[in-house]
Amino acid sequence: MTKNIVTGAAGFIGSHLAETLLKLGEEVIGIDEFNDYYDTFFKYKNITSLQNYDKFQLIKGDIQFLDWKSLLKDVDVVYHQAAQAGVRASWGQGFRFYTERNISATQVLLEAAKDAKNLQRLVYASTSSVYGDAETLPTSEQICPKPVSPYGITKLAAERLCGLYHKNFGVPFVGLRYFTVYGPRQRPDMAFHKFYKAVIKDEAISIYGDGLQTRDFTFVSDAVAANLSAAIVEDAVGEIFNIGGGSRVVLKEVLETMEEIVGKPINRNHIERAMGDARHTAADVSKAKRILGYQPQVSLTEGLTREWEWLKRLY
């Protein structure tokens, strides 16, 4: 039986990952700060299902100030999902939350990981935001990262720190660059959650720019599967992988699919393009397929339907 730590365990992806591990009979220590970047109601709701498992332990606290030496003593795998998310909020006054929660917290964890004798793997949740406006689509891991947001810069800095600790101290790190993850428990500041909530409340949705931007959307269970593979595949250590949904879709078409799912038209309100938003994202996932055996399972229509069912119950 493996003993795992999931940071950001009350978050969107972290809670799904922790739940999947618990269902597999593994032991999970969930760590979360429960900060107020979005309503903590959602975070507490996310962990209610986890607390039914006797192999789950929750630690509330800031990663920078925990006793990592004793926490990591007999831990096999750390899934580092905790981060200060959000591209648009990373400009201005809030930037220090990004440096603290994305860079400093990761460095503290890595410092402890280099001395952790039992640690088999540290899986770091990175992001497609490190690529910025990539000139090549679909984008492979060989493309030089050029973030276009302060958020992307802090995530890339933490990813590079992981690489340094791997190279210099042998920390068994694997990086996963997620491309727009969606599904049940999606954060309330994320597009699909906002769109569906607007439908339920009969409001217009705000579209940044012309609606012709494209994204590679990844269903949350596919992101979880990638984490589980990254934790056990030997050849993954020291590598970085794109984790995408396997198809690039125009936002306008996503909205048409959503309209079919909800059974009515969605009113749109076009607003100015947001600073720091990449125009197009598309993941070349051939490396993840080859080494991790990664294979996205959930189509966009199915995934959007599942998220809609969840949000109807929520609101």
What are the tens digits of pLDDT across the range 137-174? 999 999 999 999 999 999 999 999 999 999 999 999 99
Q: Is the pLDDT of residue 247 over 90?
A: no
**Domains by residue range for the chain, with CATH:** 3-184+218-244+282-296 (3.40.50.720)
Beta bridge partners of 4: 28, 77
pLDDT tens for residues 198-237?
999 999 999 999 999 999 999 999 999 999 999 999 999 9
Q: From CA 155, how far away is CA 101, in angstroms rounded?
A: 10
Average pLDDT over residues 128-134: 96
Confidence of residue 119 (pLDDT cuts 50, 70, 90): very high
pLDDT tens for residues 303-315?
999 999 999 999 9
Which residues are identified as catalytic? 151
Q: Is the pTM of this model over 0.85?
A: yes
Task: Bin 276: left if φ > 0, else alpha if -120 < ψ < 50, else beta.
Answer: left
Confidence of residue 273 (pLDDT cuts 50, 70, 90): confident
Sheet holding 173-178, edge to edge: 56-60, 27-32, 3-7, 77-80, 121-127, 173-178, 240-243
pLDDT value for 301: 97
pLDDT tens for residues 280-296?
999 999 999 999 999 99
Burial degree of 178 (CB within 10 A; 0-12, 13-18, 19+) = buried
Report the candidate in 170, 298, 162 with the shortest Cα–Cα distance to residue 226.
298
CA 151: distance to chain centroid? 13
